[in-house]
Structure 1
């Protein structure tokens, strides 16, 4: 799941058609001695039926718990959780809600090392050395998904390994009348425009300085510095050269995805959750996948690991809530369901995805596995959690400003200066 946003992880997914927040799910467990509220979100991939089944599986493993499901009524599930908290109604368990702010204020219960023993990255998203959200899922952000037919018709015989080769590929596609990149971000889905920038920040900034945002918090670096501004300039240049169509920014996330399926562009930089959708919809062309390339071709793999459940420090029964949260995130059938519905890459030790996953998902997982093998994993800009993350709300402001960068309303230097200004306002 993308969750930023992802998204998104988290808020990173577009959540459309969500239900009303106070509706309970029929997911009682044996005994039903304690009732715990569980805040989830619904998307076309993760609908009410999906959540009800997953809740029932976890509840069967934790006798004495009855789960009352709450559904975020809008895209911003972290914002909705803050509204509930402000009214004294923070749910007992929260799914894919950014713990920033909640953890520092003592609102969430920390998980112990013993409780995290089955997770591949047990320290991911740590706040002051403690984990407040189970790091159960990894996403590669972005992957460049591409139309193999469009590449072949443009005489492109190999995927680009360097950034110059990416520009060469883009030029060949444009020469054939094909828009190189599909980039959206309309309406409530402004987050969807971030991924070219997330790619260039990974290759130009985070690959050299993995703790860059921690240093930004300490004041030793700034967005206006040359490396960050250079990364932003690359995105502006893609638009100026006609490789990104600014008109596409009016498309919602769903419409952008459909535009790629309709061959309105040859490359689609998106989070790895697109992989399952690509396999399930089967457009009239074959889809491939490759990582965002660096200048020198050295591998860089931007990822997010986290997005799991958190537990309120004032839950009706904190120990049972944590036990249930672990059962939910570690359940093999639940993880299989997340993989099949939402392209998850579960970060659970020993987990093996279903053998019948499609070629796009398998290609996406191969990118992640190669990143693990060659040690090229870095954070995905705007998706960070824990101590080294953007201040609350800044990811959303950055997404809006990326639109100005692509349309030419802001230069790269102005974009960087804007982020510095917004950082100051968010941290005063």
Structure 2
């Protein structure tokens, strides 16, 4: 399936929501912008992720130097307003209302691609990290500040020592055996949570098994060329066995993301699968144990897992906005100004060659894993490696159903049916 066909279908979906973006206010003829451009004046609305690390105050401080250098431009920081707190869900509501932001941070939804400005002609955007991987049908809509590593498992070194575990596991089978020891030592073996965390952790843990032999697995899956039932079946059966044995909290769906993070840092669980952004929270936490990290291992083999990476803190510009020059200046500042980039990398624990920062020993450990994986990485998000919009929500429902009596085979079958419908 050609991804352009997927985008065309997405246009119809959004127009079905009475979307007026891009067809009112005089319209536009190309990707350079919509209507009249305010130039170096006006208020740029930027929708951003709000997390325990990325507070609204943090975003205000980040753009303050830009506003000082550009006195005619103000930046309005907008928080997600959707019930699930996500940027992409909020975007769909804003688009349906015909009121998109000028700039968005952290969006990967391919349904909004038709309404984004093509940034391919901007040399500074084309030189951004992972720009080639982010292209879709040859066009560039995203500018990232760096890379984020996702296939990581953080662990409590004190808990491992108490359980008699001398080194991180080399396979998922070894990890399972370690869980048994950790539970016997009085620890919840693995910390999880509800919301988006349940699904995200599954993909973080098992992506290396999918991509080590097939680096472009996500690209093939997005095009409907993979069977989730076949590829994820063994992994999901193992995950369900962890749940049945009490290695995961069976009541975890009531735990919010921030609460799960706090519980791990309080020493209540021995392991915590999470992306590298957790490093920033760990550096600020007061605790009586040291945190280590290892790459999520392969299911059965003791080989070197392929490290999963995704663009970190990507920015997009909506082409219907009336502040194209100001928006472009803002995104360029956020992704090329050395101080702004280094601050963002440190705040959310992303990484970029040539932009080192001093944060913590754990951050150094993640940087070493990333450096040693050069040439042995797998892209898990962005461009043609991005799963169809809605996949994460669909998979989240199926993973969470395991906590209420569901079976992996049924959930994966539902996912395959859903994915097939998206790729027709």
Provide the TM-score with structure 2 as the length reference.
Answer: 0.83
Residue among 306, 328, 349 paired with 2:334: 328
Matches within 5 A, 1:244-259: 244-259=248-263
Helix, strand or coil at the partner of 2:110: coil
**1:231-290, Cα deviation, whole Å (9 max, x unpaired):** 222212222333222222321111111221222211111111111111111311111111
Name the CA shift for 1:424/1:136 in 2 (closer, same or farther; >3 Å).
Answer: same
Name the CA shift for 1:152/1:123 in 2 (closer, same or farther; >3 Å).
Answer: same
Matches within 5 A, 1:274-289: 274-289=278-293
C-alpha distance in 1 between matches for 2:152 and 2:48: 26
Identify, as 1 or 2, the structure richer in helix: 2
In the alignment, structure 1 residue 193 sits paired with structure 2 residue 206? no
Provide the residue aligned with 1:365 in structure 2. 367
In the alignment, structure 1 residue 392 sits paired with structure 2 residue 389? yes
Residue among 393, 408, 412 paired with 1:412: 408
C-alpha distance in 1 between matches for 2:373 and 2:243: 28
C-alpha distance in 2 between matches for 1:55 and 1:371: 33
C-alpha distance in 1 between matches for 2:140 and 2:119: 5
Residue among 49, 58, 65 paired with 2:66: 58
Provide the residue aligned with 1:28 in structure 2. none
Deviation of the 1:419 alpha carbon: 0.6
Provide the residue aligned with 2:176 in structure 1. 167
Provide the residue aligned with 2:21 in structure 1. none
C-alpha distance in 1 between matches for 2:216 and 2:324: 33
Name the CA shift for 1:332/1:155 in 2 (closer, same or farther; >3 Å).
Answer: same
C-alpha distance in 1 between matches for 2:323 and 2:199: 39
Provide the residue aligned with 2:104 in structure 1. 94
Provide the residue aligned with 1:68 in structure 2. 76
C-alpha distance in 1 between matches for 2:222 and 2:60: 40
C-alpha distance in 1 between matches for 2:226 and 2:208: 17
In the alignment, structure 1 residue 45 sits paired with structure 2 residue 50? no
Checking the alignment, whether the CA contact within 8 Å between 2:189 and 2:247 is kept in structure 1 is: yes
Name the CA shift for 1:200/1:93 in 2 (closer, same or farther; >3 Å).
Answer: closer
**What is the RMSD computed on CA atoms of the aligned residues?**
2.3
C-alpha distance in 1 between matches for 2:163 and 2:415: 38
Provide the TM-score with structure 1 as the length reference.
Answer: 0.82
C-alpha distance in 2 between matches for 1:324 and 1:84: 21
Structure 1, unaligned runs of 5 or more: 1-30
Checking the alignment, whether the CA contact within 8 Å between 2:279 and 2:349 is kept in structure 1 is: yes
**1:160-202, Cα deviation, whole Å (9 max, x unpaired):** 22223212222221222322111111xxxx2111344214432
Name the CA shift for 1:257/1:127 in 2 (closer, same or farther; >3 Å).
Answer: same
Name the CA shift for 1:214/1:47 in 2 (closer, same or farther; >3 Å).
Answer: closer
Matches within 5 A, 1:15-54: 33-54=41-62
Residue among 413, 418, 421 paired with 1:422: 418
Checking the alignment, whether the CA contact within 8 Å between 1:196 and 1:235 is kept in structure 2 is: no
Matches within 5 A, 1:183-332: 183-185=192-194, 190-225=195-230, 227-294=231-298, 295-332=301-338
Name the CA shift for 1:386/1:366 in 2 (closer, same or farther; >3 Å).
Answer: same
C-alpha distance in 2 between matches for 1:370 and 1:282: 30
Deviation of the 1:398 alpha carbon: 0.8
C-alpha distance in 1 between matches for 2:75 and 2:269: 44
C-alpha distance in 1 between matches for 2:184 and 2:243: 15
C-alpha distance in 1 between matches for 2:202 and 2:422: 21
Helix, strand or coil at the partner of 1:210: coil
